[in-house]
Amino acid sequence: MAELERDIERYFVARVAQIGGRAYKFVSPSNRGVSDRVVCLPTGITAFVELKRPGGKLSPLQRQFAAQMAALHQEYKCLWSKQEVDSWVDSWGAEIHGYDSPLLLRNR
């Protein structure tokens, strides 16, 4: 069955929690196009993450937000599948806890 964006988003929130972070829903009144989530990682890094179903498209406002984040040197990422969620979270998890961290291994 095709992956739905809301399932990918739910999965993302759970995976971020597994590495000790929080993925807050991001709603900014009068700023349509902001990312779905603002993610606080235990290293002090904050990331703006947009979730899409595989094959989904960024709207013009979402592309504009991505460009603004790039111009501001912010950590921004669009993830298009649970597999991409896994690689993004795993790479941050490895940086935070180390590749052989019991926390990472326990949660897989």
Secondary structure of residue 48 in the 3-state scheme: strand
Q: How far is the CB of 58 from Mg ion (least distance, A)?
A: 9
Can you tell me the distance from the alpha carbon of 7 to that of 10, in angstroms, rounded to the nearest whole number? Answer: 5
**How many of the chain's residues bind Mg ion (CB under 5 A)?**
2
Residue 51 interacts with Mg ion (CB under 5 A): yes or no: yes
Interactions with Mg ion, residue window 22-41 (CB under 5 A): 36
Least CB distance to Mg ion at residue 52 (A): 5
CB of 60 to Mg ion, least distance (A): 14
State which residue, 10 or 42, has the beta carbon closest to Mg ion: 10
Contact 93, 39 (CB under 8 A): no
Distance CA 104, CA 97 (A): 7
